[in-house]
Structure 1
């Protein structure tokens, strides 16, 4: 039996001709950099001197100066790099090497493609090393491997790890312009004007914790928020660690029909036209549900990556935080919840999307004379309060006082708001339909 042939040695992926052609085209035509700047970065170049030249071109472009022979050589001189790249004569050679700038994007894509190949080779080596590292738990190794590949994909979409403040300012103004007709909101609105006025929306990268004692309405409020977001055509991903997806669907149909939840099965069995039409409308909502119980935080992030690769998710919902598992089965409750809280915070920042995580409160709420929740009531770990950008509590006076001065009223206490004000928004809770509505209108606004 013949032995398999030894694999041929392969050279590191690079295209030096494409690198030179890209730089020469930019020097030749002041408009050429506009086509490549959104995706091509200095790190994509194999030769360091090419990376330095391109970085100088981007610096000129950022100052709205044409990146020509004079301005680029001047920028390299200011950076003390002109002699290191070979002097102004090298720039002249690059310029003379291309007859036209028409094909600049073609050359730049080749530079990017080979850079991605080098990054994949490096990532592959790191993943191989993880395969040999038996000291780490399996879940951590799988998450590290998945995250490394995801970082490559994200880097290609985002362009670069470090972003200039001018780019941030431009993106910030774009975000403001996109919500120009929606008041002061800077993020995803919950659909309740009084609450949105306090929070200014759930902003990208934020962990928002919604907490209450069992039976107060955490899942109901989170589902109402998801429903309002989805009605605006924005995709929502829900990790339901406690409730089956069929029950969540039943609640969504009840929200659409505006009837008690327990009437939905009977109406559908009878073939009620309104109920069937409501089911059809709900089925069209861009809501995605994973109801796998006892997921650990690494699995949540991995499944989130897979869904986000197929749909532009605008809001993640995790119901609820204490039911998620940590990376290690040996952790006690405090370590486990700390790991989950930190993992969800990382998930929000990784996807640049808000994560609405539900949380239980400790029994301390029940034992006090005043039953309004406090931050110290968050159950399991002080890390929840520390990691969250916003913390909301649900307080319903009718659960504690009989008779009650405000029956049916639920107060949403924004107890922590890292980037804004705190305050209280009042909603009406309809127990039969498990629906929260604004006090000032029949249904919450569908505006952002």
Structure 2
């Protein structure tokens, strides 16, 4: 497949952005190794997915006269829509109903007809196949297709032709198309370079499939990193991972949220949950980068604005920089002012106060206050809880 990936790169290169490796001084110094980012979040359509879609459609242009169809949670949808628009053909995209509006609107912006259907990618996929057969549209699979995999592998072509002296490359894994293409090219280029995949622990279909030696269908895939929220990996991608991927690790929702937050704060980059998974694994010390040259593939940046706020709060909570407590106060004038004074003395910043005066569980003459605070770490949180507990009835909520 090494040659197929090379051909794919030259087939699609005039349609995509070539994004040089970005050396992160901040994370390199902090982690004790050379850390590079492959910033596919800055790619056209906001993710790597355009590569596989383009390669598949351009290679099979004669089969696409009636148009193309795809099922996707968002990034593949935009890749197919962009490719179809570039070729002047019809594109129909079936997306799960939970898909963030930023991805729905972006897909429509590329001229595609969008159908929202089902609660999961699998529901959307089945519906798309039905429409494909009924209307004679060319179906572009998001990951389990040789030409799509070859297109995604062009990421590795660019990385290694820019810097062949790397020790390992870390890739987010959903259905497995990206890691399959990257791994096939890397191992064909230099088998000593490690390929490490990262999955969300709530959607670890490839981990389960590798463990059992067959494609396993998960009952749920409930991760906010919707770009890798796939219940069932591909037959092809499983074989590629069995043959070429050195290691697979998982990261929790809080670890992914911290990764998104760290990209924003440290590198000034907007990255979606799937794209932040490799950094999340490194920060959680699940992948060793010390004294090594590591490339993290930042697969996409299409994160909904409403999701960003929740992710930031979760990331801050995970690092002890945010907490929410419930405090019982006497229901008298000045009680809330006194509480604010105590918190000010503890050098915590009040983020939000909700004063609950009609709670049926709170005795008459008392009131409940739920208060969210910005803090400076876990020791600061412990100090705040100890001080408040000496004055009020306190319960930590977050």
**More strand per residue: 1 or 2?**
2
TM-score where L is the length of structure 2: 0.26
Q: Larger C-alpha radius of gyration, 1 or 2?
A: 1
